[in-house]
Amino acid sequence: MENTSVNFIHEAINKDLENGIYNRVQTRFPPEPNGYLHIGHAKAICIDFGTAEKYNGVCNLRFDDTNPVKEDVEYVDSIMEDIKWLGFKWDKVHYASDYFDFLHECAIKLIKKGKAYVDDQSADEIRAARGTLKEPGTESPYRNRTTQENLDLFNRMTKGEFDTGAKVLRAKIDMASPNINMRDPIIYRILKASHHRTGDKWCVYPMYDFAHPLSDAAEGVTHSLCTLEFEDHRPLYDWVLRELDFEMPPRQIEFARLNLNYTLTSKRKCLNLVNEGVVSGWDDPRMFTLCGMRRRGFTPQAIKSFCEKIGVSKSNSVVDLSLLEFCLRDDLSHKSPRAMAVLKPLKVIIDNYPDDMVEEIEVEINPEKPELGMRKVKFTKEIYIEQDDFMEEPVKKYFRLAPGKEVRLKGAYFITCNSWDKDENGNITCLHCTYDPQSKGGNSPDGRKVKGTLHWVSAKFAHDAQIRLYDRLFDVENPSNEVGVTDFKDNLNPNSLVILNGCKVEPYLADAKIGETFQFMRQGYFTPDYDSKPDALIFNRTVALKDSWAKKN
């Protein structure tokens, strides 16, 4: 998909190129490997990789793994898989941890310049002395240590002489700065923890605000695109690069985070849902993680076109989930072959149809793509239709099957319902119908009209399947805010997963492969679940044909 839109990021880059500040464009996508990627990350990925593509530049993948405590290889692998699935290619893979030596040298340079000092205050003391938006902070009693003393202490911190939290290294900037981030931010801390890549080599670890600009600069990033919450950190980003004398320092540009109503776009909150068993895992199809969406049947194209549509804005807003679903339907409708599946089967016996006859009915593979032609569906005396497609006492404007009423079976024949059987509880178990042999192909033989067209499957040839109907996990627009943040459980939609067993599907669906989607006529888009097996088919509903939430609101 060629990206021709111009947004404020591209305008800024154009200016930089015109002014000769840079002669090339390099970006990076910098996830912290502490969870799976979600739809919010997809926006950042489209912006980071999309911008590089637009300028024939490169985009690196950089794992921001400066916090040893929360990170894991499992996450590294999944992040790479998700980016590839979206269809983007990184130039190189980097790890912030690869720069630990370089970052440590940079810290020593700052100390030597008199721009960093070791502070013995506790985290609480430091926080308390930071001041507020209205009041300046208070300088640390350790702020004026000599360079020699700072070098010695930082060296001993690095060797592991002090306990976790006993000392920190702070940048010496300005405790009275109106920007709290500039009030002597911590740049290194002691953490006696094993790192997933560097093992026990280090017991001091750089803070994000120190590691990030330097990692960008080390890689030759020109434009460091990030989300709006880092806007206030930009002065610090620039300070670090200036103090360390980088010649063509990267420029940070911020854009708004994606917020999607009815969903959580935060790794921490997603992890919470997984840990508390609210969902079956990171790839539960109700999760808006990329792996959950993939399992649900989302396509990369749908996600990318969604990101394209929401654009790049400079102010935070909440995007409606139905826009994402719109993009999904839009993509699936031309990609998905049609199929017939009966979710809640009701047996129909066509009394005047020969007992052992099997006819091959032709239906379009996809009416939106006539070039694909037709496929054959077997028609027999006994078929299944949906329970909902029959009413013993039809309400007004009910155009489906009812006593004495005639309907069209998709691609097959007109049938009329004559009688029905019930079990001892009064439930209808079977309909008896007659068909009009002259209506073959579902065409009216004499101009008489039938309004309803039903989908059906042959009882003899259908396969059993389990069908999982997914809906929004939450039934409030802002699940993390409306109740105390710890308990989004109060906001759960009790019908977010409905499992139907004994569904009847067309035999060709038995060969459906993971990643293929189908439009089940009148029902929506479906894809085989990872747990599906040839003798125990399982389909996930990716999205219904229509937005049922639009009506409710």
Active-site residues, by number, are 32, 257, 267
Q: Which residues bind to Mg ion, rule: CB under 5 A?
A: 32
Q: Does 267 bind ligand ATP (CB under 6 A)?
A: yes
Q: Does 213 bind ligand ATP (CB under 6 A)?
A: no
Q: Does 30 bind ligand ATP (CB under 6 A)?
A: yes
Distance CA 103, CA 214 (A): 7
Q: Which of 41, 195, 223, 468 binds ligand ATP (CB under 6 A)?
A: 41
CA distances, 356 to each of 315, 456, 480 (Å): 67, 18, 59
Q: Which position's Cβ is nearest ligand ATP?
A: 40
Which residue has tokens 């239906």? 363
Of 182-201, binders to ligand ATP (CB under 6 A) are: none
Read off the amino acid at residue 199.
G
Contact 417, 402 (CB under 8 A): yes
Identify the three-state secondary structure at position 317. strand
Contact 336, 519 (CB under 8 A): yes
Q: Does 227 bind ligand ATP (CB under 6 A)?
A: yes
Of 44-73, binders to ligand ATP (CB under 6 A) are: 44
Q: Does 40 bind ligand ATP (CB under 6 A)?
A: yes
Buried b (16+ CB within 10 A) or exposed e, 289-298: bbbbbbbbbb
Identify the three-state secondary structure at position 57. coil
Half-sphere exposure of 210 (CA within 13 A, CB side): 30
Q: Which of 10, 22, 31, 518 binds ligand ATP (CB under 6 A)?
A: 31
Q: Does 265 bind ligand ATP (CB under 6 A)?
A: yes
User: Cα(first)–Cα(last) distance of the chain, in Å?
Assistant: 34
Q: What is the token pair recorded at 499?
A: 């499992």
The partner in contact with residue 257, picked from ligand ATP, Mg ion, none with C-beta cut-offs of 5 to 8 angstroms by kind, is: ligand ATP
Q: Does 43 bind ligand ATP (CB under 6 A)?
A: yes
Q: Does 455 bind ligand ATP (CB under 6 A)?
A: no
Contact 26, 223 (CB under 8 A): yes
Q: Which of 3, 7, 12, 32 binds ligand ATP (CB under 6 A)?
A: 32
Read off the amino acid at residue 513.
K
The partner in contact with residue 540, picked from ligand ATP, Mg ion, none with C-beta cut-offs of 5 to 8 angstroms by kind, is: none
- At its nearest, how many Å lie between ligand ATP and the CB of residue 303? 13
DSSP string, 258-281: EEETTS---HHHHHHHHHTTSSSS
Q: Which of 257, 344, 410, 432 binds ligand ATP (CB under 6 A)?
A: 257
Q: What is the token pair recorded at 3?
A: 């990206």
Q: Looking at beta carbons only, is 194 or 227 nearer to ligand ATP?
A: 227
Interface stretch with ligand ATP, choices 19-27, 35-43, 234-242, 354-362 (CB under 6 A) = 35-43
Q: What is the token pair recorded at 391?
A: 């009413």
Read off the amino acid at residue 172.
K
- At its nearest, how many Å lie between ligand ATP and the CB of residue 41? 5
Q: Looking at beta carbons only, is 16 or 32 nearer to Mg ion?
A: 32
The partner in contact with residue 280, picked from Mg ion, ligand ATP, none with C-beta cut-offs of 5 to 8 angstroms by kind, is: none
Using CB under 6 A, list all residues that contact ligand ATP: 30-32, 40-41, 43-44, 226-227, 257-258, 265-268
